[in-house]
Amino acid sequence: MIFANSSTQVEAARQATQTIPIVFSNHVDPVGIGHVASLARPGGNITGLLMLLTDLAVKELEILTEAVPHAKRIGVVWNPTTPSHAPALRAIEGAGEKLRVQLVLVDVQAAEDFEGAFATMVREGAGGFLVVPSPLFTSHRTAVAKLALKHRLPGMFGHRDLLGDVGALMSYGADIDELNRRAALYIDKILKGAKSADLPVEQASKYQLVINLKTAKALGLDLPPLLVARADEVIRMKRREFITLLCAVAAACDLAPRRGRAPSRGGIHHASDALTMVVREKVCVCPAAVALVENLAPDVVGILLTSA
């Protein structure tokens, strides 16, 4: 039994064997690539779960244009060595024409290509970018997210795990955890005697839009309220993170708020400017400053939050 979650791994496994059962959990185009004969009757030794990338990528582009409605150009980061990307790219190009946005296509085949890809998108005036899902991009998600912040480009990703621990802006895609659980049922059936050729390929049934408001704040991006309201999950700044940020604001603009006493109106305006600097320049905060802001009265914290 071989578990190969995506098209790239499935292709490698297919070339190694045509007899050992292969189960995938998030293939994006098994019929188009030729890994199965049809969704209803796969034939051969390969079956599993599907999330159709040609449809998914178009939806991602549509959502991204909602997030950055004034962008006339959108970057598309793709990998020509990933089997499913060519048909996905054709679908994205068709959607771009309907949405009246010009696409800046940048191909990335290795980790060292990322810096040049972002430089190209910035040079071509892209107002945001879409990452077509690939194992290469997932493996180097931290580098991709950091480059997005460095170049201040809002990005749409295909996997939710990019947002929480790395800091990308938004993602839209199938629930990977659910697909993996359903793939385990396929493996169980095959181990109990079922033939992979007779197990239909099932499509993902649960899709999630996740938005990271912390990253939006860092990018200086005000997302449309209706878009945020549609999100299945919104990642917001945690209390400890917010306290640390407030400390940096206080240090940056030389505020010395006292317990139960709000700063002056001029100080609030100054704090707003300082907050922008803190987010962009990553001002460091000492433990003493953290302790100071933790002791602020709630109304002071509320005023500073509003001014941010």
Domain spanning 2-52+175-203: CATH superfamily: Response regulator (3.40.50.2300)
Q: 182-208: per-residue pLDDT in tens? A: 999 999 999 999 999 999 999 998 889
Percent of the chain with pLDDT over 90: 47
pLDDT at 227 over 70: yes
- The pLDDT assigned to 141 comes to 82
pLDDT at 123 over 80: yes
Give the mean pLDDT of the chain.
80
Q: What is the 3-state secondary structure (H, E, C) of the chain?
A: CEECCCHHHHHHHHHHCCCCCEEEEEECCHHHHCCCCCCCCCCCCEEEEECCHHHHHHHHHHHHHHHCCCCCEEEEEECCCCCCHHHHHHHHHHHHHHHCCEEEEEECCCHHHHHHHHHHHHHCCCCCEEECCCHHHHHCHHHHHHHHHHCCCCEEECCCHHHHCCCCCEEEEECHHHHHHHHHHHHHHHHCCCCHHHCCCEECCCEEEEEEHHHHHHHCCCCCHHHHHHCCEEECCCHHHHHHHHHHHHHHCCCCCCCCCCCCHHHHHHHHHHHHHHHHHCCCCCHHHHHHHHCCCHHHHHHHHHHC
pLDDT at 160 over 90: no
Whether 2-52+175-203 and 53-174+208-235 share one fold: the answer is: yes
Q: Where are the domains of the chain?
A: 2-52+175-203, 53-174+208-235, 239-307
Local confidence band at 230 (pLDDT 50, 70, 90 cut-offs): very high
Mean pLDDT value across residues 61-81: 95
- The pLDDT assigned to 168 comes to 79
Domain spanning 53-174+208-235: CATH superfamily: Response regulator (3.40.50.2300)
Mean pLDDT value across residues 26-55: 91
Residue with tokens 């709630």: 298
Mean pLDDT value across residues 265-290: 45
Local confidence band at 283 (pLDDT 50, 70, 90 cut-offs): very low
- Tell me which of 3 and 237 has the higher pLDDT: 3
pLDDT at 61 over 50: yes
